[in-house]
Structures are given as structure tokens and as C-alpha cells.
Amino acid sequence: MLVSLAKRPTGSQNWKWGFNINYTLSKTFNFSNDDQIPFNGAEDTVNTLFHVNNLRLEKGYAPTDERHRFVFYGQFNVPWQIKVVPSWIWASHVPMDCRVASLSARLPNIARNACGEQIPDGAALNSAITAYNALPPCLNPDKSIHTRGPCNSTQVTLVDPNLHFGDDYNAVSLRISKTINLTERQSLELISEGFNLANTANVRGFVNTNFSGFNNDITKANFNTPSQTADKFFGPGGARAFQFGLVYRF
């Protein structure tokens, strides 16, 4: 669902303002990951690891799924030929695939990209881990493969129950410019821009192994610690940054 509210620029010669507000509500379930962020298939074959025939286990959230996204931008013309252009982007976190390194896949008894959505915190993840650990081993005592239903191929250690999954995206940026008329046809425009003025971390990934931006192997000590941020340089979601410009018109 997309909702948009716009106000066209109105006002006097010295004072004029307008803005645009957009809100998006979305939710996506798929039987495979986004075609632009494939996980190479190995993490998706949970049925073969879990020894069941259950397509529901293959269905999960898209790795880029943002439930809510809000964007505001506007332009305010004030006296002395100054323009103020603010923008604010806020989006809810994207899901994370809770993986187990020894399985080369996610925890088999939860859906794809479940952490941060169906699995909101460490306590909920521990419930899934406990249920998985309680399954019979995949190998019988005689080393033959257990094929009678869901099975356990490795014991997984519980995580910190106080963990919270996901990080919202929040970036406020501002552009201020002033025009100086030199002649009837010539002018200078002085420009200053600030990105992510609050210097919010904005944890996000940008590679196909993990789009959430967090370390997602639940068997590692650094599980759920940030590893990447949204923008690396002069972007609205990166670290606080400023740039200045000069435009000569003739």
C-alpha cells in the first residue's frame, strides 16, 4: 500500500514552501530469495536437511522486506534568496536469516529470514533451538541415515535471550543554498549539504550473503553484532557527512 501527500509550492516571492510525504506498507513471502540478492540455493534446501516434505519451511520473507517506509522532503524559499531543503527517510528493519555454519543453511525448523519477524528476539530463537535440539539424531546408531521425519544433525547452543533482531533505518539530511545575483544573467549559488545529521548507524547489508547487516551465524560468539552499514560515503544512510558546492550560472 502506497500513500502519498503532496503540497505544491505556494506563497509570496520571499516566502514559498512545498513538500511531499510518502508512506509504504509492504509484506512479501516467497519460496526463494530476491533474484537480485540470491543466496545461491544452498540455504534454501531446508527440506533435505530437515528430512521432511514440507514446502511451508521453504516460504519466508524477502531479504529486503521493509514493513514500513516513510519519506519526507520539501523545499522552503525564505528571504535573501535562500532555499532550505530538508529530507527524512525512516524505514523498519529488514529480516535476518538465522544460519548455522555446520549446516551451511539457516536453522532448519524456522522459515527463511525469520529473525526479526517471526522470531523477534533471542528468547523466541531459543525456543526454536530447543525444539530442534530435541529431535532424534539424523544418523542411527548403526550410522545409517534417519529418514522417518524431522531429525537433528547437530546440537546448537542457546543464544542470549535478551537479543533483539533488526535495526531501523533513520536518516535526516538538509541542504541550504543561497543565490547571489551578479548581473542580470549571471549568478552564484552557494550550497551546503549535510547527510544523516543525527549520525545514526543504520545497519544494513549490501551483499548477497546477508542483507540484514548483522552477523547471522547463531553458533558464533559475534552473532547479531553489526557488520555493515547502509551507505559507505556521502549517502543519506552512512556516517554523518557534509559537502559544499558553488554553482556559477551565466
List all residues 6 or more positions away from 111 whose beta carbon is below 8 Å from its beta carbon.
56, 57, 59, 60, 61, 118
Q: Which of 10-14, 32-36, 55-59, 236-240 has the lowest mean pLDDT?
A: 32-36
Q: Could you tell me the pLDDT band of residue 192, with boundaries at 50, 70 and 90? A: very high
- DSSP secondary structure code for residue 119 in this structure: B
Q: What is the mean pLDDT of residues 197-210?
A: 82
- DSSP secondary structure code for residue 43 in this structure: G
pLDDT in tens, 81-92: 999 999 999 999
pLDDT in tens, 173-186: 999 999 999 999 99
Nearest to 22 by CA among 43, 45, 4, 40: 4
DSSP character string of 141-197: TTSPBP-SS--BSS------TT-B----EEEEEEEEEEEEE-SSS-EEEEEEEEEST
pLDDT in tens, 123-168: 999 999 999 999 888 776 666 665 567 788 889 999 999 999 999 9
Q: What is the mean pLDDT of residues 48-53?
A: 69
For residue 48, count other CB atoms closer than 10 A to its CB: 11
- pLDDT score at 34: 65
For the chain, the average pLDDT equals 87
Task: Check residues 247 and 13 and name the one with the higher pLDDT.
Answer: 247
- pLDDT score at 37: 60
Q: Could you tell me the pLDDT band of residue 36, with boundaries at 50, 70 and 90? A: low
- pLDDT score at 60: 83
CA distance 162 to 152: 25
Q: Which of 7-11, 40-44, 48-52, 199-203 has the lowest mean pLDDT?
A: 40-44
Q: Which of 130-139, 190-199, 200-209, 214-223 has the lowest mean pLDDT?
A: 200-209
The three state secondary structure string of 210-241 is: ECCCECCECCCCCCCCECCECCCCCCCCCCCE
**Domains in the chain: boundaries:** 26-65+77-249
- H-helix or E-strand containing 87? strand 82-91
Residue 40 has pLDDT above 60, yes or no: no
Q: How buried is 211 (Cβ within 10 angstroms: 0-12 exposed, 13-18 middle, 19+ buried)?
A: buried
- pLDDT score at 42: 52
- pLDDT score at 121: 96
Show the DSSP H helices in the chain as ranges: 46-50, 122-133
